[in-house]
Structure 1
């Protein structure tokens, strides 16, 4: 028996036999060229077949994914229809290379370009390039994907899985997924969650250390994979799996209860979302409002900026869906670990301390104005508040409010409906802002503590760097002290205060935060029912802190 640690990206426990998957044709030798004309025909035919397959695949994926994530396949279609890509492959073939070799060469060039990015999201997008290449080459060589033919219960183990690979999976046969590579924003993570398949990624060379038929246990909650467990361990996890399934049903049945402690303290539980379609999950899991709509994710899987109308449709869709419940829309938090190549951002040696959040918005005022107009227009359909991210100075907020007033004046001239008294809040993620929060009392209507970044900046620990993961301590005394200071100022001045981020759904954190006086939390929708249940079992005196809470899906530090 051997235990491995990775990154748990899709919740659950799975037990089964290993099925090792690899792209067999990667090492296949391309045939020698018979004629340039024949190779060009092979490429053209493979291109047409690939487009046809991707259209079919897109229809299948869209049934499982929210709209934004289903755009995964749109990226691949873009490459297939890209004139530059086709021209480069054609030129290579005319130069005497086979169709297979030419496709590999050109796709490798694209892949290397993405891998040079410092942004993990775009590194993960290099899998799109591989996927396109695998598909075209498979069609040239006449090879079918073996994942289509899995006909027994398995734990799928691979070096990596492309979007097409994952979309081919039969949920009833694939019990779990383990991959050597991938990140929190990888397609394996997105699709595994959408399909409800337990998954752990980032195990480096795990696929090289297992054989077909080995037995594996996946414990996603603890990010643990157990290879060839002994009988005692297997029996324990069979029981734990049943407990997990029972708990899942029990928790979902309690999604609409109110979060009130045993001694009568009422707590508001809102949802964090990153795409309009996620509002459905927020409602399904019993959110009392949208505490954080991360708008920067509207910029993902695109090749140009979203227009005012596109943004208005996205924001108003969420506001209408919430039917009068509050919606807090955060202006885009671009920068840090969220870079978008088409924006042409300058490379920074330390992007987390550079042009991100509100700093970026104020340096790109036309983009900022477009977003503010769309948000204000959406406010005509229900209670909307605007939240500014990464605030570090009072002047930033004053300037942003001046711009907002200009936008309001424009909308009045255009005779557009909007809430003229829309509330303005700031995210407290920078220690200097937490320490001087009283300076923001006169210019902000409410505060939202972003614990992921506040912890990172307070402890000087990169939260996405696995090498210093042990130093990232959400309940560090310094972080808790800063939260307490902010809460005291907010309470004294009658300002609404909410807390979002991983700590909002963290077992050990909730009692501490409740005692600090925090009464509004925002978290991943899937965490809401269990957090509500846990709060109902707590007394603030600490005489009854239950052990049965299991942390739900966290936000991955986004």
Structure 2
């Protein structure tokens, strides 16, 4: 009997993925819930399975689906917060398993459901991003203690349902049978990326080979959409035919049968005819293709035969391939709305660079982190951004009015008039503060007791160079050279690079420009230099890539030195150096580039050279490294990432990445002390320097200068001019004694308040609060 029970448990868990697939393939939320309660009741041999949704504003849990009870109880059975077993499961946020429910805990359910008493009870919380959204319950008439396999199955399904509910609330699907508070229907919680609040029209950017990110768009010309679709399918048919012929020799007949199966799928009239029907109903060709492929893929995934189930993946691959060709028939330049909110799964710097600057108002990225490259650029350009929005149905955001609150990390859909008025009020206050700070533009960045703290600007896009002079910056503290490389489909030539670097150097001369040599790899891949790595953040990137490809490195170095002729404001900055060996190899290549130019009759000079402290090994060798260069610059973004072992691009853990962690602060102090013994200056060019409160702490730690994004520079200058340097040293001493980053943050908040800088605690912008967005 025990063996049979174990076998049944394994069978239940094996069926779990089928239930989840069926839920994912459901056309709407109501159907998904019906599938869930019916299949769960069947798998667990329970008498009843029910789902309750949590309504935060009304402080209650309401039954929204059930199998085993009369349909009339849906919406009728409900429990207040903390009431009954449902309230206890939600409040504890953990499963509750009872073989016989006490009468006192059963009476409300019996009274509301009119179904008599059930003894066995197992309830699991439905959560999403640590927030309880409801409760999934199974009940038994007789006494029953559910086993570990039952608990595992129910908690897994509840976790899956959490994402489904979050998705449905965004798209408004819950409105048809449940009415949670309005704010949840129209508010998405994410992570604050770049500060500010922006409203505009959502424009979804999707990869050319990712069918499932394609949004729904209205077909302007259905006949043209149909022709494009037919042409794309014909292209893929030709490709498969040629590929099958080319592989006729190397592959066995059995292996070649796969290509025959692909051809049969494409030649089947159902796929084309179904997609054309979607076009005729108003969808554009990519959206019609997505809906068609989703339906056929789902149908195959639900088949009993394992071989046929695997064909589901083949259909998705075919759909992606058709999309690639379909994209080739579309306009490559978007018709960007005047107030574009750029939206995508994982937006890159190229996506931002392609939008006319005057048209982009905000950014929403469902993946990534506040330290991803595109978000750093957004901060530099003063574009509000929100990242880490999970379970977002992008097809519902395209063309919709959207609000990106980069201060709180929230996105609002279909904003109400009240919300629009609140946004305008906050932005008006922001403009007032900016006008007040303009008076500081020509004043020195000097503490009240006369200590100069030079402020420079981080630059990534060429158009940012114009912001350097207007912000009162002392020059460019970090020029990211990788963007010109990323915008091309090949490595730029030496002459092309000379033109770019000369433009930057001339624009700010005689102010200095710290040109960081090519820092690609990791989170900044080149499209024409594919690098397949299981852990790219620890892989072939930064200076190690350039040392392995000296021809690329020498070309860039020669271009930079040539661009500097007659200007002499160039300073070279080497990224990701992990020790003396890498530094000496890089310095040798700089010397070689200089010699080559002199031999060619080009009167170049060898510029001052520094390196970035970004990895722990460089912290521990800071003194030896400083002896060999002219200055050090700390990149707190990567240094925090590597010290804390947190991938800043991973949305699952990036919220734990805190530059105020005591380990990071102690590393900064160690670098400052090591550089001090060699007489070399130290700057910080990471995003930490752009936060006014953190900037004051950095000055107190002994950092000589700061390089910040242009939007933050006036605020940082105001903070520096409002304090005494001796007080900042005491602040740093106290901060280094603290054991938790939250304690350091509280200390910095107090410092701003005492200095009369409360308006900088949330910068720029304020918080949208108390709004109920319209449904």
With structure 1 as the length reference, what TM-score do the two structures score?
0.70
Is 2:652 the counterpart of 1:467? Answer: yes
CA contact (8 A) 1:182 1:188 kept: no
Alpha-carbon distance change, 287 to 132 in structure 1, aligned in 2, over 3 angstroms: farther
CA distance in 1 between counterparts of 2:548 and 2:602 reads 27
**Which of the residues 308, 322, 328 maps onto 2:514?**
328
Please report how far the alpha carbon of residue 536 of structure 1 lies from its aligned counterpart in structure 2 after TM superposition: 1.0
How far 1:88 sits from its partner (Å)?
5.6
1:517 to 692, 702, 711: 702
* 1:489 Cα deviation from its structure 2 partner: 2.0
Is the Cα contact below 8 Å between 1:257 and 1:532 reproduced in 2? no
Query: SS at 1:293's partner residue?
Result: strand
Matched, 1:547 2:758: yes
- Tell me the distance in 2 between the aligned counterparts of 1:208 and 1:334: 29
| Aligned with 1:316 (options 502, 517, 521) | 502
Distance in 2 between residues matched to 1:187 and 1:272, nearest whole Å: 12
State whether structure 2 residue 628 is matched by structure 1 residue 443.
Answer: yes
What's the counterpart of residue 24 of structure 1? 217
**Tell me, which stretches of 5 or more residues in structure 1 are unaligned?**
34-38, 45-83, 109-126, 140-144, 554-558
Counting matched residue pairs gives: 473
Q: C-alpha separation between the residues in 2 aligned to 1:408 and 1:211? A: 52
Q: Map 1:133-532 onto structure 2 (within 5 A).
A: 133=326, 136=329, 198=384, 200=386, 202-205=388-391, 218-226=404-412, 239-345=425-531, 347-380=532-565, 381-420=567-606, 422-532=607-717
How far apart are the structure 2 equivalents of 1:298 and 1:322?
19
Q: Deviations over 1:244-294 (max 9, x none)?
A: 221133234433322111222211111111233321122222221111111
- Show CA shifts across 1:439-466 (max 9, x none): 1233111111111111111111111112
Deviation at 1:357, TM superposition (A): 1.3
- Partner SS state of residue 448, structure 1: strand
1:12 equivalent in alignment to 2:223? no
Question: Shift of the alpha carbon at 1:186?
Answer: 10
Superposed CA offset, 1:38-95 (max 9, x none): x599969xxxxxxxxxxxxxxxxxxxxxxxxxxxxxxxxxxxxxxx999869999x97
Secondary structure at 1:287's aligned position in 2?
Answer: coil
Range with bigger deviation, 245-254 or 185-194: 185-194
CA distance in 2, matches of 1:167, 1:159: 14
- 241-250 or 183-192, larger mean C-alpha shift: 183-192
C-alpha distance in structure 2 between counterparts of 1:95 and 1:325, whole Å:
64
Q: 1:405 to 1:254 in 2, by over 3 A?
A: same
SS in structure 1 at match of 2:430 = helix
Most deviating of 320-329 and 177-186: 177-186
* Structure 1 residues 362-387: Cα deviation after superposition (integer angstroms, max 9, x where no partner): 11111111111111112222221111
CA displacement at 1:508 relative to structure 2: 3.1
Secondary structure in structure 1 of the residue aligned to 2:758: coil
Q: Name the SS for the 1:259 alignment partner.
A: coil
- Contact conserved, 1:289 with 1:322, CA < 8 A, in 2? yes
- Mapped contact 1:373–1:411 kept (Cα < 8 A): yes
Q: Kindly provide the CA deviation profile for residues 473-521 of structure 1, in whole angstroms up to 9, marking residues without a partner as x.
A: 1011111111111111222321121111111112331222111111211
For residue 576 of structure 2, give the secondary structure of its aligned residue in structure 1. coil
CA contact (8 A) 1:390 1:427 kept: yes
Separation in 2, partners of 1:208, 1:361: 38
Q: Is the 8 A contact 1:159 1:207 kept in 2?
A: no
1-side partners of 2:700 and 2:397: how far apart? 51
User: Could you say if the C-alpha distance between residues 28 and 465 of structure 1 is closer, same or farther in structure 2, counting changes exceeding 3 Å?
Assistant: farther
Cα deviation, 1:158-189, whole Å, max 9, x if unaligned, reads 7789979x969996xx9867676788799997
Per the TM alignment, residue 413 of structure 1 is displaced from its structure 2 partner at its CA by 1.0
Q: Which sections of structure 2, spanning at least 5 residues, go unmatched?
A: 1-182, 205-214, 243-262, 277-283, 291-319, 729-750, 765-775
Query: Which deviates further from its counterpart, 536-545 or 484-493?
Result: 536-545
Is the contact made by 1:159 and 1:205 (CA closer than 8 Å) also made in structure 2?
A: no
RMSD: 4.9
Name whichever of 470-479 and 211-220 sits farther off.
Answer: 211-220
Deviation at 1:135, TM superposition (A): 8.8
Quick check: 2:691–2:712 contact (8 Å CA) kept in 1?
no
Q: CA deviation at 1:471?
A: 2.3
Task: Tell me if the contact between 1:182 and 1:201 (Cα under 8 Å) persists in the aligned partners.
Answer: yes
Aligned counterpart, 1:47:
none
Question: d(CA) in 1 for partners of 2:707 and 2:577?
Answer: 19
Residues 478 and 514 in structure 2, CA contact (< 8 A), matched pair in contact too: yes
C-alpha distance 414-159 of structure 1, shift in aligned 2 (>3 A): closer
**What is the TM-score when the length of structure 2 is the normalising length?**
0.52
Determine helix, strand or coil for the equivalent of 1:534.
helix
Offset at residue 27 of structure 1 (A): 13
CA distance in 2, matches of 1:135, 1:329: 36
Q: Alpha-carbon deviation of 1:360?
A: 0.9
SS of 2:560's partner is helix
Alpha-carbon contact 1:158-1:207 (below 8 Å) kept: no
User: Is 2:341–2:362's contact at 8 Å kept on the other side of the alignment?
Assistant: yes
Moved more, 455-464 or 192-201: 192-201
The residue aligned with 2:72 is: none
> Relative to structure 2, which stretch is displaced further, 204-213 or 478-487?
204-213
The answer as to whether partners of 1:161 and 1:188 remain within 8 angstroms in 2 is no
* In 2, Cα distance between equivalents of 1:214 and 1:138: 21
